[in-house]
Each structure stands twice: as structure tokens, then as C-alpha cells.
Amino acid sequence: MLLVVLVVLAVLALLVGVHWYVWRRLVRDTTPGPGRPRRLGTAAVVLLPLLSVGALVAGRAGAPFRLQQVLAWPGYLWLATLLYLTLALLVGEAVRPILLRVTARRAAARSSSAREPEPLADAPAAAAPRPAEPSSGGGTPQPGTFVGGGASTAPPTADTGAATTMQQGGPADGTAPVSTAAVAARPAGTTAGDGTGTSVDAPPDGAVAAGVAPAGKTVSRRVFVSRIVGGAAAAAAVGTVGYGTYGVLRGPRVKRVTVPLAKLARSAHGFRIAVVSDIHLGPILGRAHSQRIVDTINSTQPDLVAVVGDLVDGSVADLGPAAEPLAQLTARHGAYFVTGNHEYFSGADAWVDHVRELGLTPLRNDRVALDGFDLAGVDDVAGVYEGQGPDFGKALGDRDRSRAAVLLAHQPVVIDDAVRHGVDLQLSGHTHGGQLWPGNYLADLANPTVAGLERYGDTQLYVSRGAGAWGPPVRVGAPSDITVVELASRRT
């Protein structure tokens, strides 16, 4: 019990830390200060994980099915979005300093270019001013009167004195005198007397690259870069989740695999088994989902249908109507069903009875003899907690081992038991192929095979990625499938 509590606390701490990181990068770093945008972003970062927790616990807590549906879509989709948003922001950490350096250099270059005065190409060189010489009348020059370039030597008047005297300074403040011609020669957007030639009212061109808005609405370069990185991360995450959702709602695609079996009778050569697992009917995937799967299976015209667990995420009362299309499955040798771990979360015995009513044959630690091979099925290992679970001795113990045996078992981890009991081919699901990349690496740690066909001694194991999705109705890097396994005899 203590271990469970510690695991729950660790998961909660991880979720809190990830959400704080997302809030910091997407909300705090992209807003210049407190205000409505930051308040709205903070509210979203608080509300969305609460919806996710609600979606996860609503079914187990016995909440009304309608409430489960309301919570499921935003709650589960946020979990998938959070995953790829976090990954994209982590990638952005490598890009952020590069963008900061690039924008800083560009701003500095443009600002420096804006400060350089442009020479007047057509203006004649102005002669150095000199004091006016006494006129022939013996008069003396008036104070403040200069002569140069043919200019008038008349003393300044009240209207013209401001144009001919020094502007905003003189010898007292250390600035050079500025003539009217120099003022006219300044580049547009500069003012006199600022010491740099930079206008307060009109920013230089480099301000745009630095992330500075005109008209006094200043945005720091760091905020500007954070908006670029955050916006790109959000777009990547939403695009990834959107495409992954489309793949699930579109329905699974058909895969075809040929498996040669040494002991398979020649009469069973070419026998085709449609393997479907992890349909996961629930508050998101309902009757339309199961109808798509049934139609796809029937289009392959299989000899036998094998439903290898995790059909549902809910009770018969809530999901019975969603499972009804399974009654339309058609195959020459019928359809068979074994339990998965999620059936034990949803009332396994009730679901076994219901699928039997729909025309499927449950194999609960049992087997049937078909023409050319034996077909066996075992309960899922999760049934151990309810006094059930797999019983290989009951399912396979007294059979004729000269005949080929095909085993239906939800989880690949029972492959060692299958090898010990002389199974030729085990058909499983459970892993979803990882469902959400990079989840396939975690699934690989917990399962001998994540997806596809592999050999363990004299036993071959085929693992389907599944036809549905658990939690987020999203698949990335692990497309859903229905696999048609064609058995091939080596005796032909």
C-alpha cells in the first residue's frame, strides 16, 4: 500500500512539474507582465489537468456515463497535447539561445546603420565661417555675425537668431555647435541633442528584429523569442495530436501476415484468422467505431475472427449498445473472444455473457479442435486478482502435441508459458504498439514484443497494435490495425 501511495505521489509531482514548465514557457515568458492574457493562460493550465484527472477517475468512480463523455474529450486530448507540447518546448530550449543571438546581432547592425549620417551629395562645401572684416566705412562687425559662402552679414533678428545660433548646448555642456545646414542633413527619424542621433518617437529599423514594437509598446527581445518558440511548439503539438486523432477515428487498416507452422496440417494451409485487439469501446469510441471495425473485418472474408481482449472500458449497461455491431461478424469458423485486463476493470463475467449473446465464443482457459490445428484461449493475467487468470494446464495440458496449436492470449508476457506448453503460434495485443511515440520505448521495457511477429524457441508470437486507443483517442507512430494472419503448412 505504501508503494502505491509513493507511486501516486511521484506521478502527481511529475504532472505538477510539467504543467509548471508549460505555464512558464507558454504563459509567463510570452507575456510582458500581469494582465488578462496571463490570467487566461494560467486559468487554462490549471483547468485542463483537472479535466484530465476527472476523465481518468470518472469511470472507476461510477460517474454517470454522460459525465464521463463530457470529461473524456478535453481531458484525454489535453494529456496527448501536453506530451507533445512538452517535447516540442524541450526542443525549443536548444533553439532559444540561437534566436536570441541572431536577433541581438541583427538589432545591433540595423541600429548602427541608422545612426550613420547620410552625406549631402549635391551640397557645396561650406567655407569655414570667419569674422566679418570692417567695412569701408570703418564700421566694426557686430557681435555674433559670421561671414562665409556669400552669406549675408546682417546681424540676427529675433526671427532668425534661433537658426544661426548653436542648438541645445554649447561650450558649457561639451557639445559641438550645430548649424542650420547640419540640422537639415540629419537622417529622418533623428532629433538634435540626444547625443546618439536616435529618436525617442521613431525607433530604428533594428527594433523590429529585436522584438520592439513602435509607439511606445515595448516588447523585450526575450519575450519576442519566447513567443516564436512557444507558438511553434503549440502548433507542432496541436498538429501532431490532430493527425493522430484522425487516424483513430478513421478506423484501423488491414495488415496481412503469413505464418508458416511446421505441424500445421495441409488441410489448414491458407487458413486466415482476422486478429483484432484493444477495440476499447468507451466514452469516446462508441458504436460507430465498432461498426467500422466489423465492416473492415468482414471485408477481408476471414475463416475465423479472434478478438484478443480489451474490448471495452465500461459496463455492459453503458456500452452494451456500442458492442452490438459485433453480432454482424461473419466467418466460416466463427468468432472467438478472450478477456483482456480492461474487461476485469469493467465486469469481466458480465461481458463474457454479453459477447456470447452477440454470437462470439469465449475461450476461458479452453480450446476447440479445428480442421488442421487446435485453437486455445486463456484468461488475462489481470484475472488473478479476481481468482481467475490464465490456466495453461486446463487449456493445453491434455492435447495431442503432434497437432499445431494457436493460442489466443491478450498479453504477450505469457509467451514463456506458451513455449512450455508447446504452442506453435500465440496471438496477442495489449501493447497498442506504444500508441503515442515515444511510448513504444516504455512498452518495449514491459513486453517481450511490442508489435509484429517474433520467434521464441519453437513458438512464434504475433502482437497486434490494436484497433482502438485507450485514454486519448490518439495514435502517433503506432497506427491501429486489424491483422489477417494466414497460416501456411510446411507439409505441402
Q: What pLDDT score was predicted for residue 38?
A: 95
- The letter for the amino acid at 169 is G
Q: In whole angstroms, give the CA distance from residue 320 to residue 118.
A: 82
The DSSP bridge partners found for residue 366 are 377
Please name which of 68, 480, 413 lies closest in space to residue 279, comparing C-alpha atoms. Answer: 480
Enumerate long-range contacts of 384-389, CB under 8 Å, 24 or more apart. Answer: 385/344, 386/344, 386/348, 388/348, 388/364
- Per-residue pLDDT at 5: 87
pLDDT at 74: 97
pLDDT of the residue at 173? 40
Q: In this predicted structure, what is the pLDDT of residue 421? A: 96
Distance from C-alpha of 387 to C-alpha of 382, rounded to nearest angstrom: 10
**According to the model, what pLDDT value does residue 345 have?**
92
Tell me which amino acid residue 303 is: D
Triad 234, 51, 382: Cα angle to 5°? 105
Mean pLDDT by 10 residues, the chain (492 residues): 84 93 96 92 96 93 94 97 97 94 86 68 48 45 42 40 37 40 40 40 42 54 93 98 97 97 95 98 97 98 98 96 97 97 94 97 97 97 92 94 97 97 97 97 96 97 97 97 96 70
Q: How confident is the model at residue 28, as a pLDDT?
A: 95
